[in-house]
Structures are given as C-alpha cells and as structure tokens.
Structure 1
Amino acid sequence: MTTLTPGTKQEPAVVTAEFNPFAPGMLADPYAMYRALREHDPIHRSEMMESWVLTRYDDIDAVLMDNRFSSDRTRAETSFSQMMREQQEQYGPMSNAQTMLTSDPPDHTRLRKLVSKAFTPRAVENLRPRIQEIVDFVLAEVGERGKFEIIHDLAYPLPVIVIAEMLGVPPEDRHRFKEWSDTVVATLGGPFTPPEVMEAGRKAIDELAEYFSQIIAERRAEPKEDLISGLIAAEEGGQVLSEDEIFATCILLLIAGNETTTNLIGTSMLALFRNPDQMQLLRETPTLISSAVEELLRYAGPVHGTGRVPKEDVEVAGHTFKPGEMVFTLLAAGNRDPAHYENPEELDITRNPTDHLAFGDGIHFCLGAPLARAEAQIAIGTLVQRFPKLRLLDEEPEWGGT
C-alpha cells in the first residue's frame, strides 16, 4: 500500500464562500477551492484566518518580491500572531534568535550570506552520489517484498538521513532526529494546535537544544567536514553566527530539509500514479527527470502558502494592504493560474516550468531548493526506472496534516 502521511481518507474539498484550510477534503484536494477563489475573489478576506488570501500568480509574486512586506508574521495585528509571539517566548533558545525564514533585511541578508557559505549548490551537487547510495540501499531492502510504503520506506528516511549527515549527526541518532522534527512540525498550526501538542513541541525544542549544544561544542574544539562546522566557521565582513543563531539555523534546516522533501516525493509519486501516461513518458525518457520534478513542484508542491505582513501601505492589483494586516499567498493556487500557465490543471512533465512558486520568490527564495530538487530527482527517477510495473494499490491514500 502506498500512502502519504498517516491520517484519514478524504473526499475533495467542498467550495465555500470563505477560505477555510481546515474544511473537509482540503488535505486531499484543495484545488477546487483555490480555483473558485482565483476566479471569483482573488484578493479574499478570510475572517477565520484573520488574513487576506491571494490566489493569482502575478499578485502572489508581487508580494513575494516586494520588501515592503515583512516575513516576520509576529508583526501582524491578529490573535494568531499574538499566540505566535507567546509561543516563541516559551521556546527557550529559539526565542533568542532569528532565522532566515522570519527575518527581514539587514538581519536576513547577514544570516543568509553566512549560511550560504556552508550550503552551496556545488556542495549539494557533490552529495548526489551519496543520495543515490541511500536510495539504492532503501529500495534494495523493500524491493524483495513486492510491495512497500513509499512514504514510510523511502520518503521519510531519505531526507532525514541526508540532512543528518550534512549536519554531522551520528547514524545512531537519526531516529531521534526524525522524532524531534515531526514533533516540532506538529506545533505549526498555531491557535489550532492542541495544548498537549504544543507542550510536546517545547520538550522537543529543549531536547534539541541540549543535543545541538553538545555537538556545537565538539565542533568548536574539533571541526569536521560537516555543515555545523561550516556554520561555526562562516564569516562575512567580520561577523559570525551567534550560538543561538547556529542552533536556530540547525532547527530550520532539520525541519525544512525533512518535512517538505518527504511531502514532495509523496505528492509527486501520487500525481504520476494518477497520470500513467506521464509516468510512462518519464520511464521511456529518463532525461526528462529534471523537467518532471519542476512540473511536479508546480502541480503538487509541498508548501501551499506563506504569509507576509506589510510594513507600510502597499497597493497590489488595486487593493491597498495596511500595516499589520496578514497577507497569505497561496503558492499552490498561483502555480495553477491559467493566466500564467497553459492548461495548468494538467500534468505535463515536458513543460519545465522553472518560474513556479513552489520555492517562493524574492529574497526568501528557498535556500534548500537545490537539495530538494536533487533528492526528488534521484528518488523519483530511481523508483520509476527500477520498478517498471510500479502501481498504486490504494486509489485513495491516507492524508495527514503537516
């Protein structure tokens, strides 16, 4: 049986007058609702989310490219942002440092330059043989069984092994890494997260802090060829990362390099199963794998939206957003905008849509994009080629929130 994250089977989402990310069916198929909003209310006010919701490609890209919008969601004047501020104060070391994800220039510029020195596309390219080794090892174990769980057997272990090795985490600790990552990710629902889940998240952060503090101390005393040593050594204009910034960056890389890639592999394979002509085309023409992954990122990308907060009055498409308002850009809706892509609801692995929004845009364009692409290309390409009779056993997989 091939499943996505553990959860329940769902019918496609019912289109409602207000955008509700928690409506029945949204996990399985949110695109009908996205399409309705894009066609009838592209700058939509969701009272549930206390946010403006954007669904057109050009509007979304305009916001992402405009530095008058802040990535620090705690700046928003909403109850959700107030809860985020309160939660951050309880996260110990995480509350003492900014990350690239939630900071603005000049802090963002400094952090990104420092982290980029230890996280280059060339370094990712050098990882390709090791990624292939991991995929081969995992598939050798499951291939003899005749059937396997793509998520559990491949999409879960691959990214956590890769990011753990990059950071320099010993093999015996990788299972703890995955548990910590899943526990922290479960807290990202903000006001919709149960108190016991938030408490588990705080405990996981504390355990991660203790764990990384020990590794950071070891690397300061005896550097190695790993990412943590690189973060410690990174220097730009006489500036280095603080201890808290190194820790926060490790957490960001752990979660961003784990959860999203797992989901990308899962949703991509499901899309190929549901479009067998495209899977067969990829099998017959393996050189299309790069184009195929770009199209799968557009068609079924793992990150559906991201928030911004205007720092001043900003006009987009005739609408003026006010300081402190939350603006939620639905990347996945923009990626299926017919004003930007021809036949956007169709999966076409020859399209090669390199301008998709799956990794965002502007100064916050995903730093880990080369790694995500490499892992997806190798995992999906190997699966399709190695198992020519690969088929989906359950037409409706089980979905779980992230």
Structure 2
Amino acid sequence: MDGQGADDLVYDPSDPAVMADPFPVYARLRDEDPVHWSPSVKSWIVTRYDDVRDLLLSDHLSVNRLVRFYTARPPEEAALLRDLIHYLNLWLAFRDPPDHTRLRRIMRHAFTAPAIERMRPNIVEITEMLLDRLETRGAARVDLIREFALQLPAFVIMDLLDVPRDRLDDFKAWSDDMAVFIGGARNATDKYTRAARGCRKMSAYFRDLVAERRRDPRPSFLMDLIEAQDDGDSLTDDELVATCILVLFAGHETTTNLIGNAALLLLRHPDQLASLRADPGRIHGAIEEVLRYDGPTNALVREVAEDHVLHGRHLREGDRVFVMVNSANRDPRQFSEPERFDITRTQNRHLTFGQGIHLCLGAKLAREEGRVAVQALFERFPELALDPEEPPEWLDAMVPRGTRRLPVRLKG
C-alpha cells in the first residue's frame, strides 16, 4: 500500500484489549497515521473527525460494497450467500443514489416524527414490564444486556412489525447469526453459514407476515411500510422483506448497545450519574454524550469508488475503508476535552448516526428508547452497581460497539 505509517502502530480489532478499550489506539492513529492500512482487516482505517465527516459526505466512497465481495467468492460460498446478499443489497445501508434516493423517499413516510412520538407509550410500557421482572430478583447478580437492554428495543421493534413477543428467542438467534457477517466479527469461523441460515429464516418469516398483512390490513408501522408511496412508487415485496429485516436487525442492535453503554458509563462515572439524578432533565444531554463518548456504532464501512489521495495515502478503487466514528467523536480537533465524559456538554456534533444521505432513519427512535430506558433504570434501582467479580464482556465486532454481557448487582 502507498504511503508510510508509524512502524510500530498496528490496529488489530481482534485483540481483546482493543475490543475492551480501543480509544488509546485511536488517539495514536489520529496523531501518527490518520489514514492507516490495517493488514489484519485488509482495509483503510480513517480516524480524524474532519476526514470521517467528509468521507461520509463524499462521492469518492460507496456503500455498495457487497457486489465486489460476492463476485469474488468461490462457487460454493457464493451459492451459500446468495439469498443473504440479495436481501442485504436491498437495504438502504448498502445502496447508492439513485436507488437509495428512491427507497428513502418511500420509507420516510413511515419514519415521521409523529410516528415515533406515538411509540413512546409502548416504550414506557415495555420498560416498566422489564424493570418489574428485574425487581423480583432482589439483590441478585444479573446480566443487564440479556435481561433488559436487549429485550427492550427488541420488543419495541417486534411490536412495530407485528411480530409476537414470544418469538424473541427465535429472532435473537437469527439476528445473532446475521450479526457475525454484518458486524465484522473477527473470530467467528462459521460466519457465512450462520449468516445465511439467519437470513433464510428471517426472510421466510417476514415474507409470510407481509402476505398475511396484505390479506388482513390493520393499523401498524408494518402497514405504513406496505402502503408507503412516493409519486405512486411503493416498495416491492422483496424490498419490504429486506426493510423488515433491516428495521429489526439494526433497530434492536444499535439501541441495545446504546442502553448498555449508557448504563456502564454512568456507573463508571458516579459524578455524572449524581448530576443526572439531581436534574433528570439532563437525560437528553446524557444520551448525546453516551453517543459521542462510547457510542453504539464503532465504524461505518465503505468501498472506494474513485481513486484519490488522503493524507498522502493512495486509496484505490475497490479498497475497503472503515470510517471510525467512535474515534472521530473523541478527536480533540473537534471536541474540547474529548476524553472527559460530561453529560452537560453543549457542543456535541457527534457523527454516531452518520452524515448526509445515509443519516440513520431510526435515530429519533433510538434516542427516545435510550432516554426512557436509562432514566427509568436508575430511578427504579438507585443502588445499581457493576458486579465487582465479573467484568463486562465486549462484542467481537468491527462495526457495532457494545457489551455482550454486562453483569450488575441490582441492590447493595
């Protein structure tokens, strides 16, 4: 690769120490090698705020990165991944204009601010139900991810899509299978087989559900998607299935990590937790600071569409690029005292939900779930504490950022 970085500086996301705390490495990369070639992931790693923002807005990069990957697979792998790639290529996240423009225009009719506001009572109801269950555990040690942060957004999304709540275990298993491929797991040996299986089962379920809802219409978010039109254009059945998979997968994973990271950060920063308890109105700023300081999206993935040079590095067409959102969000060139977790921070233009045409459609919903969940959790359990005997277990992933397990004690 063209250009020369620091000889002793290597970004290896499979290193458990980097999984747990990547930020010291990010700081070195920003200062010493802001466009870094990582041999371990065979990709460019871009870490400075201005570069990340500009690349997310640039025509030099494309989100349509699966076609090249798929065509390079050997025949057996290609056959295994065929359905998975078909549906992923229909996601907004993997489409460039004009296809992206058309899809987003249609989908925005279902993702309006009033629609999100109408979801709030359901978010509150689910939150209280899960906290009631936790309260029966007394002072027990619990995994806050499995028993709260995962279930809350999953139930919200399942309700939106008319999926019965008793199917949670099925959908969690299917989503986990897909996540090892989409999230960039580094240590999974069977990720193609698992991802193909998860996609096959989830797509079959949603295809049947869309057909049923067409036969038996009823007011719902899913019905809004089915009926959404822009100048007479609507989603095809394959696009509807793909969008349901995207909403369920992305909608619950990101918010699970947001809630888990928020709980962990507030417990590790008792002064900030005390500030929030003294003034519950600070919950808005608290969630924004969590999104900046250690947000649920570690990186966004792009493919170089046009050769260009950045900081002396020659990025070639077809190269893969990880734009490191969580590094950008701690860049001292953009944020004052970026290593300080401060829920009263006012200048907080983080990049967690992306930029430009790919700005996350579900950002409003994620924020609302995060605010409701975190505030209610600490109100219900004022003695909540991290388990001193068992540390958090971080996800093995390049793209999402969160804990797989977060052991806590509910009461002292």
The one of 388, 391, 399 equivalent to 2:385 is 391
The one of 75, 81, 86 equivalent to 1:90 is 81
1:34 to 2:26 alignment:
yes
Q: Which residue of structure 1 aligns with residue 271 of structure 2?
A: 277
Q: Which residue of structure 2 aligns with residue 157 of structure 1?
A: 151
| In structure 2, C-alpha distance between the alignment counterparts of 1:152 and 1:200, rounded to whole Å | 21
Change (3 A) 1:352 1:197: same
The one of 20, 23, 33 equivalent to 2:15 is 23
Amino acid paired to 1:342:
S
1:350 to 2:344 alignment:
yes
- Once the two structures are TM-superposed, the CA of residue 173 in structure 1 deviates from its matched residue by 2.2
Amino acid paired to 2:176:
D
Q: Which residue of structure 2 aligns with residue 120 of structure 1?
A: 112
Change (3 A) 1:200 1:44: closer
| In structure 2, C-alpha distance between the alignment counterparts of 1:94 and 1:337, rounded to whole Å | 35
| In structure 2, C-alpha distance between the alignment counterparts of 1:191 and 1:135, rounded to whole Å | 30
The one of 294, 301, 312 equivalent to 1:307 is 301
| In structure 1, C-alpha distance between the alignment counterparts of 2:84 and 2:193, rounded to whole Å | 16
Q: Which residue of structure 1 aligns with residue 360 of structure 2?
A: 366
- Once the two structures are TM-superposed, the CA of residue 385 in structure 1 deviates from its matched residue by 2.1
1:55 to 2:58 alignment:
no
Cα deviation per residue 1:167-211 (whole Å; 9 max; x = unaligned)? 111233233222211221123366956453432322222211221
Cα deviation per residue 1:230-273 (whole Å; 9 max; x = unaligned)? 22111112211111111111111111011111111111111111
Q: Which structure 2 segments of 5+ residues have no match?
A: 1-6, 398-412
Q: TM-score, normalised by structure 1?
A: 0.89
Q: Which residue of structure 1 aligns with residue 238 of structure 2?
A: 244
SS at 2:301 equivalent: strand
Amino acid paired to 2:171:
F
| In structure 2, C-alpha distance between the alignment counterparts of 1:108 and 1:84, rounded to whole Å | 29
Q: TM-score, normalised by structure 2?
A: 0.87
1:45 to 2:37 alignment:
yes
Cα deviation per residue 1:3-23 (whole Å; 9 max; x = unaligned)? xxxxxxxxxxxx952211112
Amino acid paired to 1:141:
R
Amino acid paired to 2:383:
K
Q: Which residue of structure 2 aligns with residue 109 of structure 1?
A: 101
Amino acid paired to 2:72:
Q
Change (3 A) 1:295 1:88: farther
- Once the two structures are TM-superposed, the CA of residue 316 in structure 1 deviates from its matched residue by 4.1
Q: Which residue of structure 2 aligns with residue 146 of structure 1?
A: 139
- Once the two structures are TM-superposed, the CA of residue 93 in structure 1 deviates from its matched residue by 6.5
Amino acid paired to 1:384:
F
Contact kept? 1:31, 1:333, Cα under 8 Å: yes
The one of 194, 200, 203 equivalent to 2:194 is 200
Cα deviation per residue 1:13-45 (whole Å; 9 max; x = unaligned)? xx9522111123122111111111111111111
Q: Which residue of structure 2 aligns with residue 326 of structure 1?
A: 320
SS at 1:328 equivalent: strand
SS at 1:186 equivalent: helix
| In structure 2, C-alpha distance between the alignment counterparts of 1:162 and 1:194, rounded to whole Å | 29
Q: Which structure 1 segments of 5+ residues have no match?
A: 1-14
Contact kept? 2:174, 2:198, Cα under 8 Å: yes
1:216 to 2:206 alignment:
no
Change (3 A) 1:191 1:388: closer
Contact kept? 2:81, 2:192, Cα under 8 Å: no
Q: Which moved more, 1:284-293 or 1:170-179?
A: 170-179
Change (3 A) 1:221 1:176: same
| In structure 1, C-alpha distance between the alignment counterparts of 2:266 and 2:276, rounded to whole Å | 9
SS at 2:181 equivalent: coil
- Once the two structures are TM-superposed, the CA of residue 399 in structure 1 deviates from its matched residue by 2.5
Runs of 4+ in structure 1 off by over 6 angstroms are none
CA RMSD in angstroms comes to 2.4
Q: Which moved more, 1:391-400 or 1:336-345?
A: 391-400
| In structure 2, C-alpha distance between the alignment counterparts of 1:87 and 1:280, rounded to whole Å | 53
Cα deviation per residue 1:251-300 (whole Å; 9 max; x = unaligned)? 11111011111111111111111110001100111000011100000001
Q: Which residue of structure 1 aligns with residue 403 of structure 2?
A: none
SS at 2:40 equivalent: coil
Change (3 A) 1:379 1:81: farther
SS at 2:288 equivalent: helix
| In structure 2, C-alpha distance between the alignment counterparts of 1:391 and 1:191, rounded to whole Å | 29
| In structure 2, C-alpha distance between the alignment counterparts of 1:398 and 1:235, rounded to whole Å | 43
| In structure 2, C-alpha distance between the alignment counterparts of 1:109 and 1:212, rounded to whole Å | 24
Q: Which residue of structure 2 aligns with residue 64 of structure 1?
A: 56
Change (3 A) 1:113 1:54: same
Contact kept? 1:295, 1:353, Cα under 8 Å: no
Change (3 A) 1:220 1:192: same
Change (3 A) 1:379 1:21: same
Contact kept? 2:37, 2:43, Cα under 8 Å: yes
